[in-house]
Amino acid sequence: MQSAAASFVRQGKKIVAIGRNYSEHIKELNNARPKEPFFFLKPTTSYVPSGGKVEIPRGIIAHYEVELGLVIGKGGRDISQEAAESHIAGYTLAVDMTARNLQDEVKKKGLPWSAAKGFDTFTPIGSFIPKSSISDAHDLRLSLKINGAIKQDGTTGDMIFRIPRLIEHISSIMALEEGDLILTGTPSGVGPLAPGDNVECALAGPSGNVLDTLNFTAVSREGGYQFKL
């Protein structure tokens, strides 16, 4: 049987996603730079595996955000930065889809982000990459193309808060469990998807060696929620 970490998409209970962790992305959305990491939760019902369809709800402007994911192996709370690495089972490539117009609205009103980040199919997800395959998680290339045109191309070396700090921060608030996923934030270049768009993402090592790819197609959501101002 696969470990809960290797089958995190099916067995994991939570997705903890870090906001504003790359300077250039903070600038492009005119956001404030955080003094400590902050995060939001996405439901695991938002996972869609590579090759699937991302559904854009009616009235929603849906932005892509390509991100490195950390898959928790050993659970814990109050994990120190020194111990953080030993709690990681592996990595994955993910897209944190975001209903940007709904998010802008709830930010203005001081309301939760949960709907804006949590629609079904809003977390396209790659394969489980065992930790042993990656020598330095802060030296990886994250890229995203739409219909063949490059839109995001960043390095995980540009994270403001690095991986051990993220694990320390989250686990000081909520316990982490095997199969939990941490999304580490997106580099610059985010933007909207239109129905029919074909999205291809890649995670590559320092020498250009591709560690994983993730692709999906955007479609219009039939029925369901409709955003109105």
> Which of the ranges 103-111, 140-148, 193-201, 204-212 carries the binding residues for a second copy, by CB under 8 A?
103-111
> Which of the ranges 63-71, 195-203, 204-212, 218-226 carries the binding residues for a second copy, by CB under 8 A?
218-226
CB of 180 to a second copy, least distance (A): 9
Write the DSSP string, 74-143.
S-BSS--HHHHGGGEEEEEEEE--EEHHHHHHHHHHT--SHHHHHSTT-EEE---EEGGG-S-TTS-EEE
Interface with a second copy: number of residues (CB under 8 A): 40
CB of 78 to a second copy, least distance (A): 5
Instruction: Tell me which of 51, 112, 157, 224 binds Mg ion, using CB under 5 A.
Output: 112
Residue 46 as a binder of Mg ion (CB under 5 A): the answer is: no
Three-state DSSP state, 157: helix
Residue 174 as a binder of a second copy (CB under 8 A): the answer is: yes
Structure tokens at 38: 């902050």
Instruction: Tell me which of 65, 168, 178, 180 binds Mg ion, using CB under 5 A.
Output: 65
50 and 33 Cβ atoms separated by less than 8 Å? no
At residue 133, what is the residue type? S
